[in-house]
Amino acid sequence: MQTLEQLRSGQLEGVTHLALSEQLTHFPEEILTLANSLEVLDLTNNQLSHLPDSFSQLTKLRIIFISNNCFTALPTILGCCSNLEMIGFKSNQIATVEASALPKKLRWLILTDNKITALPEALGDCIHLQKLALAGNALTALPLSMKRLVNLQLIRLSANALTAFPDQLLDLPKLAWIAFSGNHFNRYQQVINSLPNVASNDYQLEKVLGQGASGVISLAQWRSNPHQLDNDIAVKVFKGQVTSDGYPQDELNACLKTGSHPNLVASLAQVSEPDYLALIMALIPAHYHNLGLPPTLTTCTRDTFPTEFTLSIEAIMKIIVQMVDVISHMQIQGVAHGDIYAHNVLVDDNANILVGDFGAASIYDDLPPEQQQKIAAIEWRAVGYFIEDLLSICHTQDKNTALYQQLYTQAQGYISA
């Protein structure tokens, strides 16, 4: 993190990335002195509510993050930024999004956790858009023009007020990751409570094992074990009222609806107390590790992998067989995972996998059959991309094999379905 003092003293001359968090209430005009170099600007965690017209002088700016500020409208000056591709205004107070605020090269738009009730029809003109995060707003419908977003791959619509599933999304040729739980058309789904309830004081949280958009996972030990569950447990404590993927209760419901499968992280119990929701899970053996790494600002929607990490074609085949079985199981239960990625998969040295992270999962078996079929096809497209990503790290000597070609053909079949 840099400082305003450094900027004013000239120490940051020529930087391409700038991040300032100093409870700023006004846009620092000194930022404009970086117009010849600045590509990424992060003003998250300030008190800003306005961008000046002079902001358009930042002609090299590609990425801007101004989350956790005080904007009530998406600044229209953004639409004048000729090279701006990525906009993140999560957790402001935005109620208005004008057509003029959308730059022509927009590729990634994050408006999670705001107060937006409607989006402009001009959104459909953003033909380069790949990733759109809208969870936690007050949208009652989406622009019909979104059917033109032929490059859209990921959309988050959970925790809104949509009265009907937006059909205009269902035939988008590249859409693979979609989350839509917690809307008016599916807000009050009844799910059989298949897990026992325990109290939060029945266990002791220990070290943090990991965290994501929806919660923090910690190693835990039982103080008392009223249902005689596994001794080795991890506990996911959900964050707040709404996350970037939706409501915690919807994630828990999706876990309950999905049930058990050998390649899913096992859920053992739940905690449902005022202001405290948690899921108790079987502790994953230490020899499992993440299969991949999350997308970067450059890859946008596609996973990355550690440098020099490769897999044999036989290991890739084994992983794919297990993933296909998991998705088939979930579709029988009427649940879309919504986040099929290598970074959400744990794997051991024998290519056995465990799939977790239901933050973007949505229950869809109460929708009309045609919608259900198209949602299932979207989920299979994600599996196709998952296979493509794994094939990208295949051992070089295996890339000319018949099995490699078979898996490549399988991936293309899922993607084009």
Whether 356 maps to a domain, the answer reads yes
pLDDT of residue 222: 96
Same-domain pairing of 309 and 232: no
CB neighbours of residue 405 within 10 Å:
12
Could you read off the pLDDT of 164-192 as tens digits, one per residue? 999 999 999 999 999 999 999 987 666 77
CATH code of residue 25: 3.80.10.10
Q: Dihedral, CA atoms, 332, 333, 339, 342, nearest 10 degrees? A: -60
Binding residues: 236
Whether 187 maps to a domain, the answer reads no
Could you read off the pLDDT of 373-403 as tens digits, one per residue? 999 999 999 999 999 999 999 999 999 999 9
Binding residues for ATP: 236
- Joined together, the tokens standing for residue 81 give 């930024």
pLDDT of residue 102: 98
- Which among 300, 332, 318 is positioned nearest to 176, based on CA atoms? 300
Same-domain pairing of 374 and 243: no
Whether 191 maps to a domain, the answer reads no
What distances in angstroms separate CA 201 from CA 2, 51, 279, 331, one per listed residue?
42, 47, 14, 35
Helix %, strand %, coil % for the chain, to 5? 30, 20, 55
36 versus 244: the higher-pLDDT residue is 36
Average pLDDT on 353-363 reads 93
Query: What whole-number distance in Å separates Cα of residue 290 and Cα of residue 122?
Result: 39
Whether 100 maps to a domain, the answer reads yes
pLDDT exceeds cutoff 80 at 254: yes
Structural domain containing residue 267: 200-282
pLDDT exceeds cutoff 70 at 366: yes
Domain termination residue (choose one: 282, 305, 336) = 282
Total number of domains constituting the chain: 3
Q: Which residues pair with 222 in a beta bridge?
A: 203
Whether 184 maps to a domain, the answer reads no
Same-domain pairing of 316 and 212: no
Is 245 exposed, middle or buried, given 0-12, 13-18 or 19+ CB atoms closer than 10 A?
A: buried
Whether 209 maps to a domain, the answer reads yes
Average pLDDT on 61-68 reads 98
pLDDT exceeds cutoff 70 at 271: yes
- Residues of the chain with pLDDT > 90, as a percent, come to 88
Q: How far is CA 412 from the centre of its chain?
A: 23
DSSP for 24-67 reads -SS--GGGGGGTTT--EEE--SS------GGGGG-TT--EEE--
Could you read off the pLDDT of 216-234 as tens digits, one per residue? 999 999 999 999 999 999 9
Same-domain pairing of 218 and 353: no
pLDDT of residue 244: 74
- Which among 128, 122, 171, 115 is positioned nearest to 142, based on CA atoms? 122
pLDDT of residue 408: 98
Report the helix count and the strand count for the chain, using DSSP H and E. Answer: 5, 18
pLDDT of residue 58: 97
**Residue type at 8 in one-letter notation:** R
pTM: 0.94
Query: What whole-number distance in Å separates Cα of residue 255 and Cα of residue 153?
Result: 24
Could you read off the pLDDT of 77-90 as tens digits, one per residue? 999 999 999 999 99
